[in-house]
Homo-oligomer: A and B are copies of this chain.
Amino acid sequence: MPHRTPHPPSTEDCSIQRTLDVIGDRWTLLILRDVFRGVRRFSQIQHDLGIAKNLLTDRLGSLVEAGVVERVPYQERPVRHEYRLTEKGRALSPALLALMRWGDAWCSDDGAPTELVHDECGTRLELQPWCTSCNHAVAPTQISSRPGPGRHHPEVSADAAS
Binding site for B on A (CB under 8 A): 4-5, 8-11, 14-22, 24-26, 29-30, 33, 35-38, 40, 47-50, 84-85, 88-108, 110-121, 123-135, 138, 140, 142-149, 151-158, 160-161
Contact = CB atoms under 8 A, between A and B. Distances in A.
22 contacts: A15-B99, A15-B104, A20-B26, A37-B154, A37-B157, A91-B102, A94-B101, A95-B99, A95-B101, A104-B145, A110-B148, A113-B148, A114-B145, A116-B143, A116-B144, A117-B144, A117-B146, A118-B138, A123-B132, A125-B143, A128-B130, A135-B135
A93 B161 CA distance: 11
B156 A129 contact: no
B134 A89 contact: no
Given A112-B149, A116-B129, A124-B146, 12 more contacts: A11-B48, A15-B99, A15-B107, A16-B33, A20-B99, A94-B98, A94-B102, A95-B101, A115-B145, A117-B146, A130-B130, A135-B135
B15 A157 contact: no
B147 A114 contact: yes
A102 B146 CA distance: 14
B16 A24 contact: no
A8 B130 CA distance: 35
Contacts of A148: 108, 110-114
Contacts of A11: 30, 48-50
Contact of A119 (B30, B114, B144, B161): B144
A119 to B, nearest CB: 5
